[in-house]
Structure 1
Amino acid sequence: MTEAAELPPPPPTARTVFGDHLPHAVRYAELLADAGVRRGLIGPREVPRLWERHLLNCAVLSEAVPQGVSVCDVGSGAGLPGIPLALVRSDLRITLLEPLLRRTNFLQEVVELLGLDHVTVVRGRAEEVLGSLSPVHVVTARAVAPLDRLAGWGVPLLRPYGEMLALKGDTAEEELRGARAALSKLGVERTSVLQVGEGLVDPLSTVVKVEVGESPGGVRFAAKRAKAARTGRPPKAVRRRR
Structure 2
Amino acid sequence: MNEQPSETEELGEAPEAARKYFGDRFGDAVRYGELLADVGVRRGLIGPREVPRLWERHLLNCAVLSEVVPDGVTVCDVGSGAGLPGIPLAMVRPDLRITLLEPLLRRTTFLQEAVELLGLDHVTVVRGRAEEVLGTLKPVHVVTARAVAPLDRLAGWGVPLLRPYGEMLALKGDTAEEELKGARAALQKLGVVETSVVQVGEGVVDPLSTVVRAEVGESPGGIRFAAKRAKAARGKRRR
TM-score between the two structures when normalised by the length of structure 2: 0.91
Residue 79 of structure 2 is matched in structure 1 by 75
Quickly say closer, same or farther: Cα 1:77–1:217, change in 2 above 3 A: farther
Deviation at 1:84, TM superposition (A): 0.0
Number of aligned residues: 225
Does the CA-based 8 Å contact 1:95-1:121 persist in structure 2? Answer: yes
Give unpaired runs (5+ residues) of structure 1: 228-242
Residue 197 of structure 2 is matched in structure 1 by 193
Does the CA-based 8 Å contact 1:59-1:88 persist in structure 2? Answer: yes
Q: Distance in 2 between matches of 1:223 and 1:28?
A: 36
Q: Distance in 1 between matches of 2:222 and 2:35?
A: 40
Deviation at 1:224, TM superposition (A): 5.4
Matches within 5 A, 1:170-185: 170-185=174-189
Q: Does 1:215 align with 2:219?
A: yes
Match among 133, 150, 154 for residue 150 of structure 1: 154
Q: Does 1:40 align with 2:44?
A: yes
Q: Distance in 1 between matches of 2:146 and 2:196?
A: 16
**Secondary structure of the corresponding residue to residue 225 of structure 2:** helix
Amino acid corresponding to residue 175 of structure 1 in structure 2: E
**Secondary structure of the corresponding residue to residue 91 of structure 1:** coil
TM-score between the two structures when normalised by the length of structure 1: 0.90
Amino acid corresponding to residue 22 of structure 1 in structure 2: F
Residue 132 of structure 1 is matched in structure 2 by 136
Amino acid corresponding to residue 8 of structure 2 in structure 1: A
Match among 141, 159, 164 for residue 168 of structure 2: 164
Amino acid corresponding to residue 184 of structure 1 in structure 2: Q
Deviation sequence 1:152-209 (CA, Å, 0-9, x none): 0000000000000000000100000000100010000000000000011000000000
Structure 1 stretches (4+) deviating beyond 3 angstroms? 221-225
34-43 vs 210-219, greater mean Cα deviation: 210-219
**Secondary structure of the corresponding residue to residue 29 of structure 1:** helix
Does the CA-based 8 Å contact 2:8-2:41 persist in structure 1? Answer: no
Deviation at 1:14, TM superposition (A): 0.3
Deviation at 1:214, TM superposition (A): 1.4
Q: Between the two proteins, what is the percent identity of the paired residues?
A: 85
Does the CA-based 8 Å contact 2:160-2:223 persist in structure 1? Answer: no
